[in-house]
A and B are shown apart, each in its own frame.
Chain A
Amino acid sequence: MEDEAIVGLFFERDETAVGLVREKYGTLLCSLARRLTGSESDAEECLNDALLQLWRNIPPSYPQNLRAYACQTVRNLAFKRLTHNLAKKRCVNSELPLDELEAVISDPDAELRLKNADFSVLLDSFLRGLTPESRVVFMKRYFFMDSVKEIAGDLGVSEAKVKSLLWRARNKLRKELLKGESQ
């Protein structure tokens, strides 16, 4: 069934919509959650919570891209679980590129200056300024938390190229964030 029709079912409050999302995107969503949480049981819980959240949020939300919306939902839940696990010093996936990205604002002054910045607006603007290829590489790395090797294999480019694109994107992001704050 097309995504638009599934969203239609949500609007009709037809519970089969939830099952259809699970059937169509369950594997993808669970895999994303598993990557972040590093745990099968946590991932399954995140998936269930995400489906519940979809049911609660649609309507009034009307996602143009159901798949992306569902990914976003499960990612946010999984990220919360991840930070919770980190706080509890539980074992997490050590290959997540968390520090790699946070190094963009590792300068304490920059971090302080950016404390109240509207990150989501800045990030959207930054992403729009990237080339499609760089943007996809950036999102695969820091949204989907794919490894450099996976990204290179998926896009058919060398790992060196992926690293270069990421390095340049992070530099650009650092500049954008500081520029955004100064405006």
Chain B
Amino acid sequence: MKNYRLSEEIGRVDAAFIEEVFEYGKNERRTIMSKKVLAIALAAALVITVGVTAVAASWSGLIKLDEYFVGCEETFNVPEKMPKAEISIVGNDLVTTVPEPEPFEPGDARVTSVVATNHGLFCTIEINIAGLGVPDELPEEALDNHGFIIGDIRVFQEVDGSKERYPWSGHVSTEKNGDTVDVVISAECASSRPEGKMIFEIENIAYLKYEGDDKVDVPVYEGIFEAVLNPEDYEVLESRYSTNIPEIMGVPFSAELCANGLFLTVDGSEDVDIVEWAESDLGKKAEQVTYEMSHSEICLITKDGRKFSGLLGSFDYDGENFIGGGGSGLKGLYLSFVTLINTDEIASVTVDGVEFTF
């Protein structure tokens, strides 16, 4: 009979490792779960109001929403687009740069630019890899379109003297330039704002290759680089809040607009469970709602009167539970923007015709 000794022995490991599975990243998991549920809830809410879309569609002078974001990329210095040499001449309120990075040694990492909002942190971290044995070129087996990558990145924040995991989702890109590796991280977190000292742990430099059908990363340097962002090095960009409280299906919503997203929150203290409300009113299957979601329309209206309109699918779409309400219901919705925007130039946002003014 075949022996499964390892699988059996794993059943005898220290119980603390088992408990850790339950305790690990409770915040992250809660966020993910509520995101899944709310993705459907918002979709439902938007589909309910789809009839109003005709109003938005009939507006004259609509410009594609994509163009707005392309414009943002060109106008504003999001970390991916910000060469370090230009730090000193950045004159844009959107970006706070870390002043004069200190010289650093091989194996060190430092933050060279940062944008922090109420719900996210976007920064560039530079790693000095001189003499660490990282090859100049990728090995032949590497998937060269990915370049060198990092194995993992963990973010912590120091709150009241204790180091807490900053539960983020988002993306990381990496670029090797000679003896340095630039890591750009877009860390969104709907439920927690960056505060205090932020600590980044970057694990390993690696490349990707195929192992059978799987893509796996192969470390070329194994170790952890730590970069620290002190509170005095960055400011959190304040959000803007809607001046009106429009209703969707009789439920009042208020909106928070920050550079990386639009947050709709059930206004007041009403005990509303969005999921129950949407499902009972719609009576639709989740798949159907999710499909219809991609046809919902968002419109950003700038102060100079330009109207940028596009389908919800143009966004990196997510949902978030903002207020526990004693566990009685989910009360928040979240649209995240792939590209950071300058909130100051936005006059209003419509979500399938429901308008939030700022």
The distance in angstroms between the C-alpha atoms of A72 and B13, with both chains bound, is 9
Q: Does B29 contact A (CB under 8 A)?
A: yes
Contact of B15 among A72, A104, A136 (CB under 8 A): A72
A139 near B17 (CB under 8 angstroms)? yes
Chain A residues 107 to 164 lying within 8 A of chain B, measured CB to CB, are 119-120, 123-124, 127, 131-133, 135-136, 139-140, 142-144, 153-156, 160, 163-164
Q: A61: shortest Cβ distance to chain B, in Å?
A: 10
Which residue on A lies nearest to B8, using beta carbons?
A: A79
Contact of B31 among A136, A153, A156, A164 (CB under 8 A): A156
A101 near B7 (CB under 8 angstroms)? yes
Residues of A within 8 A of B32 (CB): 153-156
Q: Could you tell me the dominant secondary structure of chain A's interface residues?
A: helix
A69 near B15 (CB under 8 angstroms)? yes
Interface-facing stretch out of B18-26, B95-103, B282-290: B18-26
Contact with A along B1-36 (1 / 0, CB 8 A): 111111111111111111111101100110110000
Q: B181: shortest Cβ distance to chain A, in Å?
A: 18
The distance in angstroms between the C-alpha atoms of A86 and B1, with both chains bound, is 8
Q: Does A64 contact B (CB under 8 A)?
A: yes
The distance in angstroms between the C-alpha atoms of A83 and B1, with both chains bound, is 9
The distance in angstroms between the C-alpha atoms of A71 and B3, with both chains bound, is 22
A136 near B18 (CB under 8 angstroms)? no
Q: B286: shortest Cβ distance to chain A, in Å?
A: 15
The distance in angstroms between the C-alpha atoms of A135 and B13, with both chains bound, is 12
B20 near A102 (CB under 8 angstroms)? no
Contact with A along B137-179 (1 / 0, CB 8 A): 0000000000000011010000000000000010000000000
Using known A-B contacts A67-B22, A86-B2, A127-B17, determine if residue A75 contacts B11 with beta carbons closer than 8 Å.
yes
B7 near A71 (CB under 8 angstroms)? no
Residues of A within 8 A of B216 (CB): 163-164, 167-168
The distance in angstroms between the C-alpha atoms of A137 and B18, with both chains bound, is 11
The distance in angstroms between the C-alpha atoms of A123 and B13, with both chains bound, is 7
B7 near A132 (CB under 8 angstroms)? no
Which residue on A lies nearest to B1, using beta carbons?
A: A87
Residues of B within 8 A of A168 (CB): 151, 216-217, 219
Q: Does B304 contact A (CB under 8 A)?
A: no
Q: A38: shortest Cβ distance to chain B, in Å?
A: 15
Which residue on A lies nearest to B31, using beta carbons?
A: A156
How many B residues are at the interface, by size bracket? Answer: 35 or more
Using known A-B contacts A124-B14, A136-B20, A139-B20, determine if residue A160 contacts B214 with beta carbons closer than 8 Å.
yes
Contact of A64 among B15, B25, B29 (CB under 8 A): B15
Which residue on B lies nearest to A159, using beta carbons?
A: B214
Residues of B within 8 A of A180 (CB): none
Q: Does A98 contact B (CB under 8 A)?
A: yes
The distance in angstroms between the C-alpha atoms of A86 and B7, with both chains bound, is 14
Q: Does B74 contact A (CB under 8 A)?
A: no
Q: Does A8 contact B (CB under 8 A)?
A: no
Q: Does A178 contact B (CB under 8 A)?
A: no
Q: B209: shortest Cβ distance to chain A, in Å?
A: 10
Q: Does B256 contact A (CB under 8 A)?
A: no
Q: Does B215 contact A (CB under 8 A)?
A: yes
Residues of B within 8 A of A86 (CB): 1-2
Which residue on B lies nearest to A140, using beta carbons?
A: B21
Q: A124: shortest Cβ distance to chain B, in Å?
A: 5
The distance in angstroms between the C-alpha atoms of A80 and B101, with both chains bound, is 58
B31 near A120 (CB under 8 angstroms)? no
The distance in angstroms between the C-alpha atoms of A87 and B5, with both chains bound, is 14
The distance in angstroms between the C-alpha atoms of A78 and B216, with both chains bound, is 32
Residues of B within 8 A of A64 (CB): 15-16
9 residue pairs A–B, Cβ–Cβ below 8 Å: A68-B15, A123-B13, A131-B152, A142-B6, A142-B10, A155-B28, A163-B215, A164-B217, A168-B216
The 3 closest A-B pairs by CB, nearest first: A68-B18, A68-B15, A68-B19
